[in-house]
Chains A and B, each alone.
Chain A
Amino acid sequence: MSATSTPAIRSAIGAFKPEAFAAHLASLPPLPSWWIERKRAAYERFAGLPLPARTDEAWRFSNLSGVALEGFAPAASGPSAPAISMGIKKSARLTFANGALISRETLDPALEKQGVIIDSLRNALTRHGDLVREHLLAQPARLGSAKFTALHEAFLSDGAFIHVPKGIQIELPVGIFSHALGDGIAVFPHTLVVAGENARVSVVEYFGSGGDEENQLAIGANDLYAGHGAQVTYVGKQDWSHRALALQSNSTVVRRDARVQSLNLHLGGRQVRHESLSQLQAPGAFSEMLSLSVAHGEQEFDQRTLQIHQAPDTKSDLLYKNALLDRARTIFSGLIVVDPDAQRTDAYQSNRNLMLSEDAEANSLPGLEIQANDVRCTHGATTSRIDPEQEFYLQSRGIAKAQADELLTFGFFEEVLNRLASDELHAALRALIQTKFKR
């Protein structure tokens, strides 16, 4: 464990003092009172909970001294967002800068007629209050970040809301851009996706900063809800500033015969904690959890996952791959929980670490808690370098070592990228990863 002591001066609320919270509330337009009450309660929870300590199992191996809340201020809305291309065709596009909606474009006019809602959370809170209330941050924070999820709820100013009604299928993905612009700012991005019965939707979200030197705090969350027979695909591309502290908490609920695929790509950030909770609540539910990360410099990627099988005949499949360069650190801590009645569960969990440097450090904590006997649960974790024989083969064909290593690293990622149904998305992610290697 690299962080053995935490400086005593660190305060549990940091810059998020009661005055800051009051100012945040004052900055909001009129919103339903239940929401304001929930925010107040969340702020109390946040302020009452301690910062993670060395004895917290959920934070084992994490660099705790890096988790500090001092010196940030919730961003005042304002600057215009930089133009970023995702390299894919989209059905709609929402752009946020410093927590404020900058633009909303519906590129497919058929959507509105079908009753699809792609809007800001603020609008949805007043126009579709019941739906939002049912799903927004409705799941328990079970992976260690209860304090930060509460902070997120307290300071959440705006986010994306996507609702696809029963039987509607959207072919092209919805694009969401979340920008944090400026030094010392804090952002609280949120995406809420509710897919009705047999609906289908895919969402691609991009997180980025104005520049790589900006010291920022990003405390984000998302809620994915897949109703009976629904299919949801979510791709998150995290490319925050290399001086950002990012804590993201994602929650997925999968109902009967529904299917959710999520893929999170981690490139940016100084210290990134990413928690993913997947709840399989009814027979036939399937959750596929994928992640790719390229960690370099002094970056720390700390990923915590929980697959909970709450009903019989459910399936989950997790594959997290990390490539580590320089002095980077990664932590993968995953847990499969099979509840006592969840017979015939099929759960898989795999963490693969590719070491590309002598100084990198990979930590794996793949866990199982099984309380039903008729199950198939396996997990695996491996940590190794590039296979010297494969490297030698490429070199013998005249390919330079650096290029051979890059090819083999992409080969390592390909197993994850191949799980995506969309070739276009596959190519776009590949290109984005390449930019990191070129830096």
Chain B
Amino acid sequence: MQPPSETLSSAADETVMENPTVGIDQTKGDFQYKVDYAFDAGTGLSEDTVRYISSVKKEAPWILEFRLNALKKFLSMPMPTHWATKDLDNIDFAKIRYYLSQGQKPKRTWDEVPDDIKKTFERLGIPEQERKFLAGVEAQFDSEAAYSNIKDIVAKQGVIFVNSTEGLREHPELFRKWFGKVIPTGDNKFSALNSAVFSGGSFIYVPKGVKVAQPLQAYFRINAENFGQFERTLIIADEGAEVTYMEGCTAPKFSTSTLHSAVVELVALKGAKIQYITVQNWANNVFNLVTKRGVAHEEAEIKWIDCNIGSRLTMKYPGVVLKGERARGEVISIALANDGQHQDTGAKMVHAANNTTSNIVAKSISVGQGRSTYRGVVHIPKHLKGCKNNTECDALLINTNSRTDTYPAITVRGDRNYVQHEASVSKVNEEMIFYMQQRGLTEGQAMSLAVNGFINDLARQFPMEYSVELKRLIDLEMEGSVG
């Protein structure tokens, strides 16, 4: 099991020239450190890989069994290319490294983090962000969480915020009940893969009635070439609890593709509220195939705010199962697809109780030869009443060769529910651009303003820091897209 041999220089130098489009976070995120990995599961996937991961983590026997069972499912399931893009066939599972780690346990203070990993995270700006306002940070470097900290106040409230290994080892009574229940192993081929080789990710429990005032945050980073990151996150908000979780993702640009396949499960018990915010900015050779779903019990609310800017191919449809009466689900989705990118995103709303409501607002921007796709499911089964869904999808096409698709599927039974879906595709209004140019803006600036205006009502729902970053990111993406 050899440590990776990539060097720092090549990736950093080429950033601007080779990939001008990915802009701001890319210059932050596109660097790589030579790291000596203490544990490396090697390339390729077999029962031995799974056993290796499980033994390194010193897992309970039931987890190993869960993993092996998942591996069987993964191997038996076909690639979903009958509906999804054929690009999936370009993933070579035999060339992927499934587990890399330096053997570190999560550190509780910044000083304890090894210097080289600290350098990585400092470039990502994590400690500053934490100092500003974040309640807790969990940063994942390749397979394992390298650093985590929860401010005392949150811990005192009884909030548990640990990585998945720790969560399963130290709080099995809390997490085992829901682990793999919201998203069954065989939900899809990639959730099965994740279930076999998962490592890292956050496990959060918010006790009854506790409202976490500040958002909890995680960063995910892929550092090694050919590496697959398979984090697993489970958030449980007990009755009446409230929590906001934010995640950011980056990876340096390698010459070969990288795979990120996460599973995120949310459980909002009676009256609880979970808000889950993602800003995904993987380098544009990452396959980002993620399964995210939440269960909302009676009067609970789950809101996914999902922003996809990076990656080569993203397939991600955050979902909410509305299990209890008056539960509410919401997905706010922003996708930006530039040259060589396919953002295949959307939402799933499964109504399973009376008087449940769901709302989906998706906006996508296709630049250059970028392709954005909205795919959605709204399901209201038999004998429910008073269920409502509203779906709006808007696509903006910047260049003549940009592409967008919309594929919703809506099933409604019975005469006591209301569903509406609307989608539109348009380009930037020429008169608007003309007006701004006439007031002294360049065409590029005008275009950036118009695009920001297009997503403004959604961007406002992001925490301030993220919405400012999003705006800058879009400005950069728009550079050179006109004229």
- Could you list which residues of chain A lie within 8 angstroms of chain B, going by C-beta atoms? 55-57, 60-61, 340, 343, 353, 355-386
> What 1/0 mask marks residues of chain B from 399 to 417 whose CB sits below 8 Å from any chain A CB?
1111111111111111111
Q: Give the docked Cα–Cα distance between A383 and B402 (Å).
A: 32
Neighbouring A residues of B425 by C-beta, 8 Å: 368, 370, 375-378
B82 x A56 contact (CB < 8 A): yes
Neighbouring B residues of A367 by C-beta, 8 Å: 405-408
**A367-B407, A373-B397, A380-B422 known; A57-B382 Cβ under 8 A:** no
Contact of B426 among A57, A376, A385 (CB under 8 A): A376
Nearest B residue to A340 via CB reads B401
* B8 CB to nearest chain A CB (Å): 40
B399 x A373 contact (CB < 8 A): yes
Neighbouring A residues of B401 by C-beta, 8 Å: 340, 371, 373
Which 10 pairs between the two chains have the least Cβ-Cβ distance?
A373-B397, A355-B415, A385-B415, A368-B406, A377-B425, A383-B412, A364-B410, A381-B421, A378-B424, A383-B419
Q: Give the docked Cα–Cα distance between A57 and B402 (Å).
A: 25
Neighbouring B residues of A382 by C-beta, 8 Å: 418-421
B406 x A375 contact (CB < 8 A): no
Q: Give the docked Cα–Cα distance between A359 and B404 (Å).
A: 35
A370 x B403 contact (CB < 8 A): yes
Q: Give the docked Cα–Cα distance between A55 and B401 (Å).
A: 31
* B391 CB to nearest chain A CB (Å): 9
Nearest A residue to B418 via CB reads A384
> What 1/0 mask marks residues of chain B from 250 to 262 whose CB sits below 8 Å from any chain A CB?
0000000000000
Q: Give the docked Cα–Cα distance between A95 and B434 (Å).
A: 61
A55 x B424 contact (CB < 8 A): no
A-B contact count (CB 8 A): 130
A372 x B395 contact (CB < 8 A): no
Q: Give the docked Cα–Cα distance between A2 and B410 (Å).
A: 15
A361 x B412 contact (CB < 8 A): yes
Neighbouring A residues of B133 by C-beta, 8 Å: none
B395 x A362 contact (CB < 8 A): no
Q: Give the docked Cα–Cα distance between A377 and B423 (Å).
A: 8
B411 x A361 contact (CB < 8 A): yes
A359 x B423 contact (CB < 8 A): no
Contact of B395 among A343, A359, A370, A386 (CB under 8 A): A370
Neighbouring A residues of B408 by C-beta, 8 Å: 364-367, 381
Nearest B residue to A371 via CB reads B403
Neighbouring B residues of A372 by C-beta, 8 Å: 397, 400
Does B427 belong to the interface (CB within 8 Å)?
A: yes
Does B383 belong to the interface (CB within 8 Å)?
A: yes
Neighbouring A residues of B82 by C-beta, 8 Å: 55-57
Neighbouring B residues of A368 by C-beta, 8 Å: 395, 404-406, 423, 425
A359 x B414 contact (CB < 8 A): yes
A377 x B414 contact (CB < 8 A): no
Nearest B residue to A352 via CB reads B420
Q: Give the docked Cα–Cα distance between A164 and B398 (Å).
A: 44
20 further contact pairs, Cβ within 8 A, besides A358-B416, A370-B404, A375-B425: A61-B409, A355-B412, A361-B382, A361-B411, A361-B413, A362-B411, A364-B421, A367-B408, A368-B423, A371-B402, A373-B399, A373-B402, A375-B397, A377-B424, A379-B423, A381-B419, A382-B421, A384-B418, A385-B418, A386-B415
A378 x B423 contact (CB < 8 A): yes
* A59 CB to nearest chain B CB (Å): 11
* B411 CB to nearest chain A CB (Å): 5
Does B83 belong to the interface (CB within 8 Å)?
A: yes
Q: Can you spell out 16 A-B residue pairs with CB atoms less than 8 angstroms apart?
A: A358-B413, A360-B413, A360-B415, A361-B411, A361-B413, A364-B408, A365-B408, A366-B406, A367-B408, A381-B410, A381-B419, A381-B420, A382-B421, A383-B419, A385-B415, A386-B415
* A348 CB to nearest chain B CB (Å): 10
B406 x A353 contact (CB < 8 A): no
* A101 CB to nearest chain B CB (Å): 42
A373 x B427 contact (CB < 8 A): yes
Neighbouring B residues of A377 by C-beta, 8 Å: 424-426
**A357-B415, A381-B421, A384-B419 known; A365-B410 Cβ under 8 A:** yes
A385 x B395 contact (CB < 8 A): no
Most buried by B among A57, A340, A377: A377
Neighbouring B residues of A370 by C-beta, 8 Å: 395, 397, 403-405, 425
Neighbouring A residues of B405 by C-beta, 8 Å: 367-370
Contact of A374 among B383, B410, B427 (CB under 8 A): B427
Nearest B residue to A354 via CB reads B415
Contact of B406 among A56, A358, A379, A383 (CB under 8 A): A379
A383 x B427 contact (CB < 8 A): no
Contact of A380 among B404, B409, B420 (CB under 8 A): B420
Contact of A61 among B403, B411, B421 (CB under 8 A): B411
* A405 CB to nearest chain B CB (Å): 11
> What 1/0 mask marks residues of chain B from 411 to 448 whose CB sits below 8 Å from any chain A CB?
11111111111111111000000000000000000000
**A56-B82, A57-B83, A368-B423 known; A385-B404 Cβ under 8 A:** no
